[in-house]
A and B are shown apart, each in its own frame.
Chain A
């Protein structure tokens, strides 16, 4: 079981070149701002195509610049948490969490059930019927993180998920993340500036420059 990315992305403004080989591990991606950490995540998610090279996961070609093979984002079993705009603004918290389940074919009632279970076990039942605009930044991130693990994803991409929360809220969520990420059998990439995240959660660090 391997993920191999060896290629580059030319976004006009800059070019990201990297070579990553990963197995079942939690990888921290660090580096200064603008170096391309988010772009790397977007390549893995399928939101950006490689301009050269290839991305191969479990011996399946996911993205190949030479042959123009490309598996689109919705067909990759990927789950992504952005820095902001992480929730669909017109759905309630419960519907947001249930969304990935609905997309994978689970019926309405069952997906609501599963979502409600996750909501209760995290003690945010009071938020279940609220819309994202009524939540604080930290609350939105919590909901997004709950949603991230609801569908049993194989690739988990986190882009500074805890930076919107204040210091004392982080340890609890760090535990949550470590638990959930360890339970995922797949590829986990965690962009962060926080050394605590790197040390407490991740197995390995890739520093981009």
Chain B
């Protein structure tokens, strides 16, 4: 493959800015690696509470991403393709968990789904004895709450970018609405969908404030990896670094595996 010679180079200050940006992000991450005692890494990670935190994080983040998909795909569809008055308001609300401080999100979740005073939660408890707080389901609810906007944003963007002519083409070739959706729309949406799922999952995995506020911090039940790291920082900093390292590696692997796909191009 021959390399293309660029016609023009960007000005120097752009390079400088870019390099500073890379350093700003990479320096803390690389410094974290320095603090790890590699010898005891394995034993720290296979410790009982740590393993259960890792396992819980894995299960809840995947469940939260699935929940975000189930609710987010239709929502993104409506926002992208159905013109209705006030759609900009709906979009603003859906994006809120992204900008809200996570603890505030947790407080809001309590106000809705808490068993003591929650709008819906009290009803659920009084009628069915269902308590969402302090349970792994509560963790999933909190994680999905913060992850949903990312999924909606990626999918809505992806839907808007699809050339409607391909879908029209499919119609003229005899594809009904369902076939059109599965065979053409989803296929064209794939890069944005994958990117949205990956980002939503990563966000769910790293969630702390809403989780600890809504689902509490119960070892084995609701103590996810970020919560475990936070508590470990005081009792066993070394173990905290090791656990942070695991989170880091997982996220890096996911992001690398997506390569450029989440820029939305058809590569």
Chains A, B in direct contact (C-beta < 8 Å): yes
**Using a CB–CB distance below 8 Å, which chain A residues touch chain B?**
45-47, 72-75, 78-80, 82, 85-86, 88-90, 99-100, 103-104, 147, 151, 157
Question: Contacting A89 at CB < 8 Å: which of B173, B174, B266?
Answer: B266
Q: Is the CB of A88 within 8 A of B176?
A: no
Q: Is the CB of A74 within 8 A of B166?
A: no
Q: Is the CB of A85 within 8 A of B172?
A: no
**Using a CB–CB distance below 8 Å, which chain B residues touch chain A?**
163, 165-166, 168-176, 179-180, 184, 187-188, 266
- The residue of chain A having its C-beta at the shortest distance from the C-beta of B170 within the complex is A88
Q: Is the CB of B174 within 8 A of A82?
A: no
Q: Is the CB of A104 within 8 A of B163?
A: no
What are the residues of chain A within 8 A of B171 when measuring CB–CB?
46-47, 72-74
Q: Is the CB of A47 within 8 A of B172?
A: yes
What are the residues of chain B within 8 A of A47 when measuring CB–CB?
168, 171-172
A132 to B45, CA, bound (A): 50
Known: A89-B266, A90-B187. Is A100-B165 also a contact (CB below 8 A)?
A: no
A-B CB proximity, top 3 nearest:
A103-B174, A73-B171, A80-B172
The distance from the CB of A70 to the nearest CB of chain B, in whole angstroms, is: 13
A82 to B231, CA, bound (A): 62
State the total of A-B contacts with C-beta under 8 angstroms: 54
Known: A82-B165, A103-B179. Is A88-B184 also a contact (CB below 8 A)?
A: yes
Given A72-B176, A88-B166, A88-B184, output 16 extra A-B contacts at Cβ < 8 Å: A73-B168, A73-B172, A74-B173, A79-B172, A80-B172, A85-B163, A85-B166, A85-B169, A86-B169, A89-B166, A89-B266, A90-B187, A100-B174, A103-B173, A103-B175, A104-B174
The distance from the CB of B190 to the nearest CB of chain A, in whole angstroms, is: 9
- The residue of chain B having its C-beta at the shortest distance from the C-beta of A144 within the complex is B169
A85 to B167, CA, bound (A): 10
Known: A74-B175, A100-B174. Is A82-B188 also a contact (CB below 8 A)?
A: no
What are the residues of chain A within 8 A of B170 when measuring CB–CB?
88, 99
- The residue of chain A having its C-beta at the shortest distance from the C-beta of B163 within the complex is A85
A46 to B172, CA, bound (A): 8
Question: Contacting A151 at CB < 8 Å: which of B174, B175, B179?
Answer: B174
What are the residues of chain B within 8 A of A73 when measuring CB–CB?
168, 171-172
A74 to B184, CA, bound (A): 14
A103 to B171, CA, bound (A): 10
A147 to B169, CA, bound (A): 12
What are the residues of chain A within 8 A of B163 when measuring CB–CB?
85
- The residue of chain A having its C-beta at the shortest distance from the C-beta of B174 within the complex is A103
The distance from the CB of B46 to the nearest CB of chain A, in whole angstroms, is: 44
What are the residues of chain B within 8 A of A74 when measuring CB–CB?
171-176, 180
What are the residues of chain B within 8 A of A46 when measuring CB–CB?
171-172
A159 to B184, CA, bound (A): 22
The distance from the CB of B42 to the nearest CB of chain A, in whole angstroms, is: 44
Q: Is the CB of B173 within 8 A of A99?
A: yes
What are the residues of chain A within 8 A of B166 when measuring CB–CB?
85, 88-89
The distance from the CB of B167 to the nearest CB of chain A, in whole angstroms, is: 10
What are the residues of chain A within 8 A of B175 when measuring CB–CB?
74, 103
A73 to B179, CA, bound (A): 13
A9 to B172, CA, bound (A): 19
A130 to B169, CA, bound (A): 19
